[in-house]
Structure 1
Amino acid sequence: MALSLEYKIREPKIILDKNPLLLLLHGYGSNEADLFSFAEELPEQYYVISARAPYDMQYGSYAWYAINFDADENKFSDHDQARISRDLIVQFIDELALTYPVDPQNIALIGFSQGAILSYAVGLSYPEKVQKIVAMSGYFNPEIIKEGHQKNNFDTLKIFASHGTVDQVIPIDWARKTPSVMETLDINTTYKEYPVGHGVAPQNFYDFKNWLLEN
């Protein structure tokens, strides 16, 4: 069957009855090949699936939602598109569970930038769908979380959040608010910073990979 999103897949090298899933969500203006470049470095028992965002920006660039500028150069996000993408990712997770022998109790989202913002939205709106989130160079945007999410049960959700201290795209101050938000919801959160811009430092990759293995 055709799935809702285009994707790349690395099958697990260690086959279990049900294998855990790592779902990679790229940033604005990128595509599914971007994060997939480090698929071979990820733990061998996982299905590694990198999804392509639904909004086509031409020339191999895709977005989970539009970012627009007004006349005063204020940047604003299309929250309606973001919410549609949020629910599309959840639908895609359900489709993957029907298509591959993945363990629905062991699903992790790994998001970069816009993909990280969406990872928070999926995890906090539908905590029964994902157990782990790695959110790199993103931030928590309450506008795109399902209403009433504060009442959700987050006992099984764990988050690894990271950011570059000299990020010129998403200010570090935005990311620094995330741990306290997660704390108020009693979500188990690890937060780290690296002396880099808007990208994934080698140490960041190493740290989140270890975090996945430990959790």
Structure 2
Amino acid sequence: MFTLDLHYITRPSTLKENAPLLIMCHGYGSDENDLFSFASELPEELFIISLRAPYTLQPFGNAWYAINFDANQNKWSDDEQAKESREKIAGFIDYACDQYPVNKESVTLLGFSQGTILSYAVALTYPEKVKNVIALSGYINPNIIPENFESIDYSKLHFYCSHGSADQVIPVEWARKAPKFLEALNIDFKYSEFPVGHGVAPQNFYEFKNWLLNKIQ
């Protein structure tokens, strides 16, 4: 039984039933208000939910999983925490589809940075729960998806992936592995780069907005 333990905020749809659902997953050190700033610019028929990651950071912000540093300043991810957050998001999708007048066949995950890593993981673990993924400034972590992923049916998934070519937080080389990975699984995707750092350029926003418009029709 899934228990709701993720704080979230919503923007209702103009549709009274069967609204396409968009779930936002913010990056490390942020909160549910960050990506929600996009909401007013996105299609009115979308039912938008922005999640707050479960781990509280000091002095402020939240994380989907810990990022640790050793004495040499190498950093590594807590993959067990990441898997727990993956399960929380997957469970939240079911909760939202039961709780709100949305179309469970039209669920989009929109992630940024660590939220993108989790969005990839949820979609590649539970492709039956997700239709579209907007993956901003993140990468695929193979340690938090099923070992048998190559035998899973991903035929209904669509990915929009983008990255800043000058990203100083997550190297663009990590993001560039996604197209080959998705292509090998016959997943429909679009990959774009923009001349920015770890953020979303205006042209990046308009491109993924138009991409999403076509996917929710």
Indicate the TM-score class for this superposition, using the shorter chain for normalisation. Answer: over 0.9
Change (3 A) 1:155 1:16: farther
2-side partners of 1:39 and 1:145: how far apart?
29
In structure 1, the residue matched to 2:118 is 118
Q: Where does structure 1 lack aligned partners over 5 or more consecutive residues?
A: none
Preserved CA contact (<8 Å) 1:20 1:45: yes
Are the equivalent residues in 2 in contact too, given 1:4–1:91 (CA < 8 A)? no
In the alignment, which residue of structure 1 is the partner of 2:11? 10
Residues matched between the structures, number: 214
What is residue 88 of structure 1 aligned with on the other side?
88
Q: What letter matches 1:146 in structure 2? A: P
1:15 aligned partner, one-letter code: L
The AA in structure 2 aligned to 1:88 is K
1:135-214 aligned at under 5 Å gives the runs 135-214=135-214
Tell me which residue corresponds to 1:128: 128
- Taking a change above 3 Å as real, the CA distance of residues 60 and 10 of structure 1, as seen in their structure-2 partners, is farther
1:32 and 1:149 map into 2 onto residues whose CA distance is 30
| Structure 1 segments (4+ residues) deviating >6 Å | none
Residue 185 of structure 1 and its aligned partner are, at CA, apart by: 0.6
Identical columns (%): 55
For residue 128 of structure 1, give the secondary structure of its aligned residue in structure 2.
Answer: helix
SS of the aligned residue for 1:182 comes to: helix
Q: Aligned partners of 1:15 and 1:84: how far apart in 2?
A: 33
Any idea what the Cα deviations from partners look like across 1:91-148, whole Å, max 9, x if unmatched? 0111111110111100000000000010100000000000000000000110011221
Distance 1:81 1:104 in 2: 26
Please state how far the C-alpha of 1:16 moved relative to its aligned partner.
4.3
Q: Which amino acid aligns with 1:92?
A: F
Q: Give the aligned residue type for 2:11.
A: R
Aligned-residue offset at 1:30: 0.3
Distance, in Å, in 2 between the alignment partners of 1:4 and 1:98 is 16
Letter in 2 for 1:4: D
CA displacement 1:167-206 (0-9 Å, x = unmatched): 0000010011110000011110100000000001000100
Q: Does the CA contact (< 8 Å) of 1:29 and 1:61 recur in 2? A: yes
CA–CA separation in structure 2 for the residues paired with 1:43 and 1:174: 31
Shift of 1:53: 0.3
CA distance in 2, matches of 1:74, 1:52: 27
What is the deviation of 1:152? 1.1
Larger displacement relative to structure 2 (130-139 or 143-152): 143-152
Alignment-mate amino acid for residue 77 of structure 1: S
Structure 2 equivalent of residue 54 of structure 1: 54
Name the amino acid aligned to 1:110: L
**Aligned-partner Cα distance in 2 for 1:3–1:11:** 19
Instruction: Tell me how far apart the structure 2 counterparts of residues 8 and 202 of structure 1 sit (CA, whole Å).
Output: 24
What displacement does 1:151 show? 1.2
Residue type of the alignment partner of 2:191 = Y
Larger mean Cα displacement after TM superposition, 171-180 or 51-60: 51-60
